[in-house]
Amino acid sequence: MRVLVVEDEDVLADAIAEWLRREAFAVDVAYDGDAALERLGVNEYAVVVLDRDLPVVHGDDVCRAIVDSGGDTRVLMLTAAAAVRDRVAGLALGADDYLVKPFALVELAARVHALTRRARPAAPPTLRRAGLTVDPGRREVYRDGRYVSLSRKEFAVLAELLRADGAVVSAEELLERAWDEHIDPFTNVVRVTVMKLRRKLGDPPVIDTVPGTGYTIR
Protein backbone atom coordinates (compact mmCIF):
# COMPACT_ATOMS: atom_id res chain seq x y z
CA MET A 1 0.00 0.00 0.00
CA ARG A 2 1.37 3.42 -0.96
CA VAL A 3 1.38 6.34 1.49
CA LEU A 4 2.27 10.01 1.01
CA VAL A 5 3.67 11.87 4.02
CA VAL A 6 3.29 15.66 3.78
CA GLU A 7 5.10 17.48 6.58
CA ASP A 8 7.29 20.59 6.46
CA GLU A 9 9.38 19.58 9.49
CA ASP A 10 11.84 17.43 7.56
CA VAL A 11 13.12 15.51 10.59
CA LEU A 12 9.58 14.53 11.58
CA ALA A 13 8.59 13.76 7.98
CA ASP A 14 11.56 11.46 7.51
CA ALA A 15 10.94 9.75 10.87
CA ILE A 16 7.30 9.07 9.95
CA ALA A 17 8.33 7.76 6.53
CA GLU A 18 10.96 5.43 7.94
CA TRP A 19 8.56 4.05 10.57
CA LEU A 20 5.86 3.37 7.96
CA ARG A 21 8.39 1.66 5.68
CA ARG A 22 9.14 -0.70 8.56
CA GLU A 23 5.42 -1.46 8.51
CA ALA A 24 5.77 -2.57 4.85
CA PHE A 25 4.25 0.55 3.29
CA ALA A 26 5.69 2.20 0.20
CA VAL A 27 6.19 5.82 1.27
CA ASP A 28 6.77 9.07 -0.61
CA VAL A 29 7.50 12.36 1.17
CA ALA A 30 6.60 15.97 0.34
CA TYR A 31 7.73 18.93 2.45
CA ASP A 32 5.15 21.50 1.31
CA GLY A 33 1.63 21.59 -0.10
CA ASP A 34 2.64 22.34 -3.67
CA ALA A 35 4.96 19.31 -3.83
CA ALA A 36 2.16 17.21 -2.35
CA LEU A 37 -0.27 18.25 -5.09
CA GLU A 38 2.35 17.39 -7.73
CA ARG A 39 2.75 13.87 -6.36
CA LEU A 40 -1.02 13.42 -6.00
CA GLY A 41 -1.38 14.32 -9.66
CA VAL A 42 1.01 11.55 -10.68
CA ASN A 43 0.61 8.73 -8.15
CA GLU A 44 -2.26 6.95 -6.45
CA TYR A 45 -2.07 6.79 -2.66
CA ALA A 46 -4.10 4.74 -0.23
CA VAL A 47 -3.43 7.24 2.59
CA VAL A 48 -2.02 10.76 2.83
CA VAL A 49 -0.53 11.74 6.20
CA LEU A 50 -1.08 15.48 5.95
CA ASP A 51 0.20 18.24 8.19
CA ARG A 52 -2.40 20.97 8.32
CA ASP A 53 -0.07 23.98 8.64
CA LEU A 54 1.97 23.68 5.43
CA PRO A 55 3.97 26.29 3.50
CA VAL A 56 3.28 27.28 -0.14
CA VAL A 57 -0.12 25.55 -0.27
CA HIS A 58 -1.98 25.15 3.03
CA GLY A 59 -2.85 21.67 4.22
CA ASP A 60 -6.56 22.56 4.16
CA ASP A 61 -6.31 23.22 0.42
CA VAL A 62 -4.47 19.97 -0.16
CA CYS A 63 -7.18 18.13 1.76
CA ARG A 64 -9.91 19.79 -0.32
CA ALA A 65 -8.12 18.79 -3.53
CA ILE A 66 -7.95 15.16 -2.39
CA VAL A 67 -11.63 15.11 -1.48
CA ASP A 68 -12.67 16.89 -4.68
CA SER A 69 -10.77 14.33 -6.78
CA GLY A 70 -13.39 11.78 -5.78
CA GLY A 71 -10.88 8.95 -5.32
CA ASP A 72 -10.45 6.46 -2.50
CA THR A 73 -7.47 8.20 -0.89
CA ARG A 74 -7.84 8.58 2.88
CA VAL A 75 -6.45 11.55 4.80
CA LEU A 76 -4.86 11.46 8.24
CA MET A 77 -4.45 15.09 9.25
CA LEU A 78 -1.71 16.17 11.65
CA THR A 79 -1.78 19.38 13.66
CA ALA A 80 -0.30 21.07 16.69
CA ALA A 81 -3.74 22.52 17.54
CA ALA A 82 -5.40 20.40 20.20
CA ALA A 83 -8.67 22.35 20.60
CA VAL A 84 -11.84 20.48 19.78
CA ARG A 85 -12.91 23.18 17.29
CA ASP A 86 -9.68 22.64 15.34
CA ARG A 87 -10.24 18.89 15.15
CA VAL A 88 -13.83 19.43 14.06
CA ALA A 89 -12.72 21.91 11.40
CA GLY A 90 -10.19 19.44 10.02
CA LEU A 91 -12.73 16.65 9.82
CA ALA A 92 -15.23 19.00 8.20
CA LEU A 93 -12.76 19.52 5.35
CA GLY A 94 -13.02 15.83 4.58
CA ALA A 95 -10.14 14.37 6.57
CA ASP A 96 -10.80 10.79 7.67
CA ASP A 97 -8.80 10.96 10.89
CA TYR A 98 -7.01 13.53 13.00
CA LEU A 99 -3.86 13.24 15.14
CA VAL A 100 -2.54 15.95 17.44
CA LYS A 101 1.19 16.58 17.81
CA PRO A 102 3.17 15.31 19.59
CA PHE A 103 2.15 11.72 18.92
CA ALA A 104 3.62 8.24 19.14
CA LEU A 105 4.74 6.81 15.81
CA VAL A 106 3.25 3.47 16.75
CA GLU A 107 -0.18 5.12 17.08
CA LEU A 108 0.22 6.92 13.75
CA ALA A 109 1.08 3.62 12.07
CA ALA A 110 -1.96 1.94 13.62
CA ARG A 111 -4.19 4.71 12.29
CA VAL A 112 -2.67 4.41 8.81
CA HIS A 113 -3.30 0.66 8.86
CA ALA A 114 -6.92 1.32 9.82
CA LEU A 115 -7.34 3.85 7.01
CA THR A 116 -5.90 1.47 4.40
CA ARG A 117 -8.58 -1.02 5.37
CA ARG A 118 -11.18 1.68 4.81
CA ALA A 119 -9.59 2.63 1.48
CA ARG A 120 -10.24 -0.93 0.31
CA PRO A 121 -13.44 -1.93 2.11
CA ALA A 122 -13.88 -5.09 0.07
CA ALA A 123 -10.60 -6.59 1.23
CA PRO A 124 -10.99 -9.03 4.14
CA PRO A 125 -8.84 -8.52 7.26
CA THR A 126 -7.11 -11.84 6.50
CA LEU A 127 -6.28 -12.77 2.91
CA ARG A 128 -6.64 -16.43 1.91
CA ARG A 129 -6.01 -18.18 -1.40
CA ALA A 130 -4.26 -21.29 -2.73
CA GLY A 131 -3.38 -22.51 0.76
CA LEU A 132 -1.95 -19.13 1.75
CA THR A 133 -3.09 -17.17 4.78
CA VAL A 134 -1.85 -13.57 5.05
CA ASP A 135 -2.60 -11.31 8.00
CA PRO A 136 -1.75 -7.72 6.89
CA GLY A 137 -2.12 -6.31 10.40
CA ARG A 138 0.36 -8.71 11.98
CA ARG A 139 2.42 -9.15 8.78
CA GLU A 140 2.23 -12.92 9.14
CA VAL A 141 2.17 -15.43 6.30
CA TYR A 142 1.32 -19.13 6.45
CA ARG A 143 1.21 -21.75 3.73
CA ASP A 144 -0.84 -24.82 4.63
CA GLY A 145 -0.28 -23.95 8.30
CA ARG A 146 3.49 -23.44 7.93
CA TYR A 147 4.82 -20.03 8.92
CA VAL A 148 6.74 -18.27 6.14
CA SER A 149 9.20 -15.49 6.98
CA LEU A 150 9.17 -12.75 4.34
CA SER A 151 10.93 -9.43 3.89
CA ARG A 152 8.82 -6.27 3.83
CA LYS A 153 8.81 -6.03 0.04
CA GLU A 154 8.10 -9.73 -0.40
CA PHE A 155 5.17 -9.39 1.97
CA ALA A 156 3.87 -6.29 0.15
CA VAL A 157 4.03 -8.01 -3.25
CA LEU A 158 2.30 -11.15 -1.96
CA ALA A 159 -0.46 -9.10 -0.33
CA GLU A 160 -1.08 -7.20 -3.57
CA LEU A 161 -1.32 -10.44 -5.54
CA LEU A 162 -3.79 -11.86 -3.05
CA ARG A 163 -5.89 -8.70 -3.04
CA ALA A 164 -6.25 -9.06 -6.81
CA ASP A 165 -8.37 -12.18 -6.12
CA GLY A 166 -7.07 -14.16 -9.08
CA ALA A 167 -6.67 -11.26 -11.51
CA VAL A 168 -3.33 -10.61 -13.18
CA VAL A 169 -1.23 -7.82 -11.63
CA SER A 170 1.40 -6.26 -13.86
CA ALA A 171 4.97 -5.55 -12.77
CA GLU A 172 4.22 -1.84 -13.24
CA GLU A 173 1.28 -2.06 -10.85
CA LEU A 174 3.40 -3.86 -8.27
CA LEU A 175 6.09 -1.18 -8.56
CA GLU A 176 3.42 1.51 -8.10
CA ARG A 177 1.92 -0.09 -5.00
CA ALA A 178 4.85 -1.68 -3.21
CA TRP A 179 7.76 0.69 -3.89
CA ASP A 180 8.16 4.45 -3.57
CA GLU A 181 8.71 7.05 -6.28
CA HIS A 182 12.49 6.68 -6.23
CA ILE A 183 12.45 3.19 -7.73
CA ASP A 184 13.84 2.86 -11.25
CA PRO A 185 10.88 1.96 -13.51
CA PHE A 186 13.20 -0.20 -15.65
CA THR A 187 14.49 -2.24 -12.72
CA ASN A 188 14.03 -6.01 -12.48
CA VAL A 189 13.29 -5.78 -8.75
CA VAL A 190 9.74 -7.15 -9.19
CA ARG A 191 10.98 -10.24 -11.04
CA VAL A 192 13.66 -10.83 -8.40
CA THR A 193 11.17 -10.36 -5.54
CA VAL A 194 8.69 -12.80 -7.11
CA MET A 195 11.52 -15.32 -7.61
CA LYS A 196 12.40 -15.08 -3.90
CA LEU A 197 8.75 -15.38 -2.95
CA ARG A 198 8.33 -18.56 -4.96
CA ARG A 199 11.39 -20.09 -3.28
CA LYS A 200 10.18 -19.22 0.21
CA LEU A 201 6.58 -20.32 -0.38
CA GLY A 202 7.76 -23.70 -1.63
CA ASP A 203 6.23 -26.30 -3.93
CA PRO A 204 3.97 -26.58 -5.73
CA PRO A 205 4.37 -22.98 -7.00
CA VAL A 206 1.37 -20.73 -6.36
CA ILE A 207 2.48 -17.60 -8.25
CA ASP A 208 1.97 -17.89 -12.00
CA THR A 209 3.71 -15.70 -14.56
CA VAL A 210 1.49 -14.55 -17.42
CA PRO A 211 3.97 -13.72 -20.22
CA GLY A 212 3.86 -10.08 -21.26
CA THR A 213 1.18 -9.31 -18.67
CA GLY A 214 2.22 -9.90 -15.08
CA TYR A 215 1.65 -12.26 -12.16
CA THR A 216 -1.30 -13.98 -10.55
CA ILE A 217 -2.24 -16.35 -7.73
CA ARG A 218 -5.07 -18.52 -9.08
Q: In a structure prediction context, what are the per-residue pLDDT tens digits for the chain, which is 218 residues long? A: 789 999 999 999 999 999 999 888 889 999 999 999 999 988 889 999 999 989 999 999 999 999 888 888 999 999 887 666 766 776 778 889 989 888 999 999 999 998 987 755 444 568 889 999 998 877 889 999 999 999 988 998 999 999 888 899 999 888 888 877 666 666 788 999 999 999 999 999 999 999 988 999 97
Tell me, rounded to whole angstroms, the distance of Cα 143 from its chain centroid. Answer: 24
Q: How many Å apart are CA 161 and CA 199, to the nearest integer? A: 16
Q: Is the dihedral of CA 160, 166, 172, 176 positive or negative?
A: negative
Mind giving me the DSSP string for 64-89? HHHHHTTSS-EEEEEES--SHHHHHH
Q: What is the pTM of this model?
A: 0.61
